[in-house]
Amino acid sequence: MSAKRLWCGALCLMACTFESTPSTPQDSAPPQETSGDEGGSTAGVATGGPVSGTTSPPITATAGGETSPTLGETTGETTGQTTDETGDVEVKPGCPDPLPENWVLCEDFEGVGDLASHFSAVDGSGLAIGGPGFESRDALEVTHFAQQNWVGELLIRFGQGPSADNITQPDARFEEVWVRARFRADRGWPVRGPGDLLSVDGVEGPDWAATFKARISAGQSEPAVRNSAFSCVFGSQHPCDGTDDWSLLAYLGGEPGQVVVFDESVVHQWHCAVIHARLNTAGSSDGLLEVLVDGQSDASVTGLDFRGSRSDLGFNVVSIPTYMESALQNDHRRYIDDVVVSTESLDCE
């Protein structure tokens, strides 16, 4: 099953992407019993020891396509960028070696030859390696093709969950994470927000069924990001099966941010977003989702019930989606770089 089928949700996604009022799809779709261990073990939570997780055959992935170097206008006016004596971008990978102890993973997109073999799953022709990146030569380049709402999605797996290639710490369960990424667009970006930006989620079962999502996005008239939380776990029941999950996900809440990052005067500069997400204590509504943008606390939602009574679930995938509510008239590019997942607080430095 393709990542596109798992994550886009077509018409429902159009309704959910920039939703600002709660919905309760579980009322119209009775939850089904799940075979998961409702009690769950606490061993191996975050960076702890092994806990057996659900396994399944690897997801089928397809490589992202190449993009034309003539699209848009790439400039050297990228915050933090350095050049060598020839004027070329100096390669300064964004991932330290070794990684800090609390970092789960770091992806700077340097030296990535084939997206499909490097990541757990990638789908769509609008994803490629391009640049310049943030203080480096390469970044993940997203080309929004004319008249297309969706051009691809890249998934980075970590922690317990469905089996796939390239999973970081597959025996650990992560209940609280900080996820940081850098982003910018080419000069001439024609709208404000590019739609979906970044998400840290939970998936379960052979078809990577959604359990919960903590994400940031920005509508095409919005100069700042907003956060949104979703869940498909109701008590101990998990009706999502990986085929039409967006129609079953419940919107838990969200908040628009205030830090301007998509205005035409700054959209071509590198910006930073940190998602801090914490799952609820099983049976309680004490989860949270907060966002830091360019070093400023920007949006926060508390009292979230991500996983019902399922203490065996954790965050296990970073998603880089590309859905736009309204397609662009011409091809335009944007970039993502230096994606970090940590079990301790991150800032934008």
**Distance in angstroms (rounded) separating the CA atoms of residues 337 and 274:** 13
32 lies in some domain? no
55 versus 273: the higher-pLDDT residue is: 273
3-state DSSP call for residue 207?
Answer: coil
Surface-to-core class of residue 95, CB atoms within 10 Å of its CB (0-12 exposed, 13-18 middle, 19+ buried): middle
Assess whether pLDDT exceeds 70 at residue 329: yes
227 versus 46: the higher-pLDDT residue is: 227
36 lies in some domain? no
Alpha-carbon separation of residue 196 from 140, 150, 159, 185 (angstroms) = 15, 10, 23, 14
38 lies in some domain? no
322 lies in some domain? yes
Alpha-carbon separation of residue 128 from 88, 124, 137, 141, 277 (angstroms) = 20, 10, 13, 5, 28
**pTM reported for the whole predicted model:** 0.78
In terms of DSSP H, where are the helices of 25-129? 115-118
241 lies in some domain? yes
104 lies in some domain? yes
Which CATH number does the domain housing residue 331 bear? 2.60.120.200
**Distance in angstroms (rounded) separating the CA atoms of residues 64 and 116:** 7
**pLDDT tens per residue across span 68-115:** 333 434 444 444 443 333 344 344 458 999 999 999 999 999 989 899
Domain that holds residue 200: 3-20+52-69+78-342
Query: With bands split at pLDDT 50, 70 and 90, how would you rate the model's confidence at 191?
Result: very high
243 lies in some domain? yes
Domain count, the chain: 1
Query: With bands split at pLDDT 50, 70 and 90, how would you rate the model's confidence at 40?
Result: very low
Which pLDDT score is estimated for 41?
34
Which pLDDT score is estimated for 30?
30
Which pLDDT score is estimated for 77?
41
277 lies in some domain? yes
**pLDDT tens per residue across span 234-259:** 999 999 999 999 999 999 999 999 99
